[in-house]
Amino acid sequence: MARIIRELGEDEGGLSWVVEVNDDVPPFVIFSVLPKERPSSPCLVATCTVKVETKDRAKGGDIYIPNRKMRKRGIGTLLLKLILQCMKQKGISRIHGDLVPEDPNDLDWLKGFYEKWGASVEIYAVKDPRRLKDPSTLGHVEWKLR
C-alpha cells in the first residue's frame, strides 16, 4: 500500500498538475489532483475515489472539481485517463459507475465525455426503477479495459 505522486500533465490553460494516488485504505483508491509547483499544499483541484470490488471489477466515483473556474480545462480528462491506466495496471478489466451530473442539464455533455473515452453509457428512462430508487442517478457508465 502506498501514496504515490505521479505526473498528470498540463491542462488547456498551461498549468501543470500531479496526482496523488492513495491506496492505503482498501478497497478504495483515492486520486487527488494538486498543483505541480506545490504538491504538498492543501490546494486540492480535483478528486475521484474508486472502489475495487473484485480482482477484476471496480466502481468509480464522480470526478469532482469543486472550483467551477477549474472546470472545462482538461483536468478531468487527464485524471480519467490516469485512473483507467492505473486500474488496468491493477488487473481491473471493468470499471462501472453511476451517472450523477451535478446539473441535469449537463447530462448530454457528460454522456459524450464518457463515450469519447471509450465508455458505454446507458441513460435511464424517467420511470426506470433504478432512477426511481435514486432520482439523482440518471444512468450508468462502464468501461471494459483491454
- Chain segment 101-126, per-residue pLDDT in tens: 888 888 999 999 999 999 999 999 98
Cβ(110)–Cβ(102) below 8 Å: no
Say if strands 3-10 and 94-99 run parallel, antiparallel, or are unpaired: unpaired
* 91, 94, 98, 100: CA torsion to nearest 10: 70
Assess contact for 133 and 85: CB atoms under 8 A.
Answer: no
**pLDDT value at residue 39:** 60
Nearest to 9, CA basis, from 76, 95, 108, 106: 76
AA identity, residue 59: K
pLDDT at 12 over 70: yes
Q: Give residue 40's pLDDT band: very low, low, confident or very high (50, 70, 90).
A: low
Phi and psi (nearest 5°) for 49? Answer: -115, 130
C-alpha cell of 40? 504538498
pTM for this model (two decimals): 0.90
Question: Which 3 state secondary structure label does DSSP give 40?
Answer: coil
What integer is the mean pLDDT of 79-107?
94
**DSSP track, 56-85:** TEEEE---B--SGGGTTSSHHHHHHHHHHH
* Strand, helix or coil for residue 145: coil
Domain range annotation of the chain: 1-92, 93-146
Is residue 145 over pLDDT 90? yes
The helix (run of H) or strand (run of E) holding residue 50 is: strand 46-54
The predicted structure's pLDDT at residue 2: 66
pLDDT in tens, 64-79: 999 989 989 999 999 9
Residue 1 has pLDDT above 60, yes or no: no
Q: How far apart are CA 131 and CA 146, in angstroms?
A: 30
Percentage of the chain exceeding pLDDT 90 = 74
Residue with grid cell 458505454, as numbered in its chain:
120
User: Which pLDDT score, from 0 to 100, does residue 137 have?
Assistant: 92
